[in-house]
A and B are shown apart, each in its own frame.
Chain A
Amino acid sequence: MTVLDTASSGASTRQAPSHSVTFGMTLVDIGGITRRNLLRILRTPRLLVFSSIQPIMFVLLFRYVFAGAIKVPNGLYVDYLMPGIFVQTALFGGASTAVGLAADLQGGMIDRFRSLPMARSAVLAGRTIADLIRNVVVLVLMVAVGVLVGFRFRASPGSDVAGLALVLLFGYAFSWVFVTTGLLVKDPETAQVAGFLPLFPLVFASSAFVPVSTMPGWLQAFANVQPVSVTVDAVRGLLSGGAVEHWLWQSISWGVGIFLVFAILSVRQYRRL
């Protein structure tokens, strides 16, 4: 007795499936889920406000409390700091991806979606795209805060835009780590905590806030090569007009790798929920 046994004793088993999800339908499904999640973000404005306060406090903390104690190789600390803040903000924003998915799982929304003849990837893609769009808004806010505390774009407009785009794309790739987390832990409170765990070593043992050369040797070995450092260095180069090629290439490789691995893992997890 096996599930592959197609010999039918009662009802007729029809030969060819008459329904399948086409590429066009997949896009429609992703659009519908993205819109639903954006409406949710718009209708909880307080959440958006409070989740923006945390990165602003980080800016104030590092710009005015720690800045005097941190020496950077050349230029102003505020110009060193803000690319790190941008990347940190984009990454931390991903925690809401994990929380949102876990809440949908717990409340039965995911069961409903999985019982509909829709593309299975759409629930996850629609979630991450909505969170990417929210990240655009938060990034614009952080740029404004940066300019207020003395940060200046020092490269060509094209290079500046490329730097901010890299922040968003790296954040998007990393949001798939949160998708996987949310689907694995299945409850919003745990997802909130679990989502941040990998972020702390990656964000703080990196070149985001202090030069890596000031860290102990063993930590430098990690901090020099890990994805957040190379991305922050690439963004810093793009926004200041300095050299970026080496970091940019590494950052894009990390981003593509993280995206592929975690998108595959999370879609597989979603199928077998």
Chain B
Amino acid sequence: MPETMIEAESITKAFGSTLALRSVDLKVEAGTVLGLLGPNGAGKTTLVRILTTLLKPDSGRATVAGYDVIHDAVTVRAMIGLAGQFAAVDDLLTGRENLELVGLLYHLGSKERKLRADEVLERLSLTDAADRLVKTYSGGMRRRLDLGASLVGHPRILILDEPTTGLDPATRIDLWQFIEALVADGTTLLLTTQYLEEADRLANRIVVIDHGQVIAEGTANELKDQLGGNVLEVTITDQDQLEKAAAVLADLGHGPPSYDRAGGLITLATDGKAEMLLEAARRLEENGIALDDIGLRRPSLDDVFLALTGKPTEDLPGTADTRQRLDPSGVL
């Protein structure tokens, strides 16, 4: 049986009258990546703060590497590396000084501290900037240094809270590669994100959380299978006919169609049979609606998320496969 590195049982936490977490269960096996996925305010950060000993739950219990996060908090802290939502590095220290300070606080000896800082700087391609003050760093460099700081103590377990939020696409992909390399070395990773693409790429298993509750979990494929069948995608030529086309297709799917005006795109979860595709094409033709494209595809995590929460996730800015939405703001 694989070793469980992170386990949460019935974790509940309220802030005043707001219930941030309602009886959340979670398990991460050694050497795997769990993606904790959910919209803003879902409770992801609260759960991370409990698992990293920063916050006490109201009830329930959590262990990290078998150690209780309340009773053995110091031991837990010695085993984990945390990179939070802010790049928590000191602007007025150099990159090297930041890492050596963290090494000192892990109680590494002075030689080991220097050696480890060099290793981490090298690993995160920051060697050239090592002796510059962090205030001269770009946003991506600060995030890399922050991730580096979480690696100084040789953690077996890494907890990253929205590591790429607010980064440009190229920097995000860089950071993903660093994270993948760490996982390849056997680090257990818990990652929170509001980006489906990130969870899809990095995580072995995904837990979807909304309003403080776990609403789905499984591998990316299992989650997609939960939706059943395939997704019908229709792109129409004349955007003024969008509502009409959606109405014509409505009873072919499992739920109401979602559409995107700017792209003239209609999306519908269906049973995915070929007859359905032919039926859709016939109905559109009968109603005189001209098509640019029609096809079936595997559901994306985006579709799963929409079906589960009734709201779309944040789109990754500038990535090719995400659909244009009516309101593409809110990420950067």
Question: With A3-B57, A43-B133, A117-B106 in contact, do A19 and B97 touch (Cβ < 8 Å)?
Answer: no
**A3 cross-chain contacts in B, Cβ below 8 A:** 56-61, 70
Instruction: Tell me the smallest distance from the CB of A267 to a CB of chain B, in Å.
Output: 15
The answer to whether B66 and A13 touch across the interface, beta carbons within 8 angstroms, is: yes
The answer to the question of A73 belonging to the interface, with a C-beta cut-off of 8 Å to chain B, is: no
A3–B4 Cα gap in the complex (Å)? 19
The answer to whether A36 and B71 touch across the interface, beta carbons within 8 angstroms, is: no
The answer to whether A10 and B7 touch across the interface, beta carbons within 8 angstroms, is: yes
**A11 cross-chain contacts in B, Cβ below 8 A:** 3-4, 7, 63, 66
Given B59, B61, B66, which contacts A14 in the complex, CB threshold below 8 Å?
B66
**B72 cross-chain contacts in A, Cβ below 8 A:** 14, 17, 19
The answer to whether B54 and A117 touch across the interface, beta carbons within 8 angstroms, is: no
The answer to the question of B90 belonging to the interface, with a C-beta cut-off of 8 Å to chain A, is: yes
Given A108, A109, A116, which contacts B77 in the complex, CB threshold below 8 Å?
A116
The answer to whether A114 and B54 touch across the interface, beta carbons within 8 angstroms, is: yes
Given B9, B86, B102, B107, which contacts A108 in the complex, CB threshold below 8 Å?
B86
Q: How many residues in B have their beta carbons less than 8 Å from beta carbons of A?
A: 47
Question: With A11-B4, A28-B107, A116-B105 in contact, do A39 and B92 touch (Cβ < 8 Å)?
Answer: yes
**B97 cross-chain contacts in A, Cβ below 8 A:** 36, 39
The answer to the question of B75 belonging to the interface, with a C-beta cut-off of 8 Å to chain A, is: yes
**A40 cross-chain contacts in B, Cβ below 8 A:** 90, 92-93
The answer to the question of A29 belonging to the interface, with a C-beta cut-off of 8 Å to chain B, is: yes
**A9 cross-chain contacts in B, Cβ below 8 A:** 9
Write the chain B residue with the least CB distance to A110.
B88
User: Mask for B84-120, Cβ within 8 A of A = 1, else 0?
Assistant: 1111101011000100011011110000000000000
The answer to the question of B74 belonging to the interface, with a C-beta cut-off of 8 Å to chain A, is: yes
Scan residues 79-127 of chain A and give those whose CB is less than 8 A from a CB of chain B: 107-109, 111-118
The answer to whether A116 and B102 touch across the interface, beta carbons within 8 angstroms, is: yes
The answer to the question of B68 belonging to the interface, with a C-beta cut-off of 8 Å to chain A, is: yes
Q: How many residues in A have their beta carbons less than 8 Å from beta carbons of B?
A: 39
The answer to whether B59 and A32 touch across the interface, beta carbons within 8 angstroms, is: no
Given B3, B78, B104, which contacts A28 in the complex, CB threshold below 8 Å?
B104
The answer to the question of B27 belonging to the interface, with a C-beta cut-off of 8 Å to chain A, is: yes
The answer to the question of A20 belonging to the interface, with a C-beta cut-off of 8 Å to chain B, is: yes
The answer to the question of A74 belonging to the interface, with a C-beta cut-off of 8 Å to chain B, is: no
**B92 cross-chain contacts in A, Cβ below 8 A:** 39-40, 43-44
Instruction: Tell me the smallest distance from the CB of A151 to a CB of chain B, in Å.
Output: 35
The answer to the question of B10 belonging to the interface, with a C-beta cut-off of 8 Å to chain A, is: yes
The answer to the question of B178 belonging to the interface, with a C-beta cut-off of 8 Å to chain A, is: no
The answer to whether B59 and A112 touch across the interface, beta carbons within 8 angstroms, is: no
Question: With A5-B61, A115-B54, A116-B106 in contact, do A39 and B78 touch (Cβ < 8 Å)?
Answer: no
The answer to whether A19 and B75 touch across the interface, beta carbons within 8 angstroms, is: yes
**B27 cross-chain contacts in A, Cβ below 8 A:** 10
The answer to whether B75 and A2 touch across the interface, beta carbons within 8 angstroms, is: no
**A35 cross-chain contacts in B, Cβ below 8 A:** 101
The answer to the question of B82 belonging to the interface, with a C-beta cut-off of 8 Å to chain A, is: yes
Instruction: Tell me the smallest distance from the CB of B59 to a CB of chain A, in Å.
Output: 5
Question: With A19-B74, A39-B97 in contact, do A13 and B68 touch (Cβ < 8 Å)?
Answer: yes
**B49 cross-chain contacts in A, Cβ below 8 A:** 111
The answer to the question of A65 belonging to the interface, with a C-beta cut-off of 8 Å to chain B, is: no
The answer to whether B60 and A1 touch across the interface, beta carbons within 8 angstroms, is: yes
Instruction: Tell which of A20, A28, A40, A112 has the most Cβ of chain B within 10 Å.
Output: A112
The answer to whether A17 and B67 touch across the interface, beta carbons within 8 angstroms, is: yes
The answer to the question of B296 belonging to the interface, with a C-beta cut-off of 8 Å to chain A, is: no
The answer to the question of B52 belonging to the interface, with a C-beta cut-off of 8 Å to chain A, is: yes
The answer to the question of B80 belonging to the interface, with a C-beta cut-off of 8 Å to chain A, is: yes
The answer to the question of B36 belonging to the interface, with a C-beta cut-off of 8 Å to chain A, is: no
A115–B55 Cα gap in the complex (Å)? 10
A25–B78 Cα gap in the complex (Å)? 13
Instruction: Tell me the smallest distance from the CB of A63 to a CB of chain B, in Å.
Output: 35
Instruction: Tell me the smallest distance from the CB of A104 to a CB of chain B, in Å.
Output: 9
Instruction: Tell which of A3, A13, A14 has the most Cβ of chain B within 10 Å.
Output: A3
The answer to the question of B223 belonging to the interface, with a C-beta cut-off of 8 Å to chain A, is: no
Write the chain A residue with the least CB distance to B97.
A39
Question: With A25-B107, A36-B93, A36-B101 in contact, do A1 and B88 touch (Cβ < 8 Å)?
Answer: no
Q: Residues of B at under 8 Å CB distance from A? A: 3-4, 7, 9-10, 27, 49, 52-54, 56-61, 63, 66-68, 70-72, 74-75, 77-78, 80, 82, 84-88, 90, 92-93, 97, 101-102, 104-107, 133, 149, 153
Other A-B pairs beyond A17-B67, A21-B74, A29-B105, 5, CB < 8 Å: A2-B59, A5-B61, A14-B72, A32-B105, A39-B93
Q: Residues of A at under 8 Å CB distance from B? A: 1-3, 5-6, 8-14, 17-21, 25, 28-29, 32, 35-36, 39-40, 43-44, 107-109, 111-118, 273
For this complex, 14 residue pairs linking A to B, each with C-beta atoms less than 8 Å apart, are A1-B60, A9-B9, A11-B7, A13-B68, A14-B72, A19-B75, A40-B90, A40-B93, A44-B92, A111-B82, A114-B53, A115-B53, A117-B153, A118-B107
The 10 A-B residue pairs with the shortest CB-CB distance in the complex, in nearest-first order: A108-B86, A108-B88, A117-B78, A112-B88, A117-B77, A17-B72, A19-B75, A118-B105, A32-B104, A11-B4
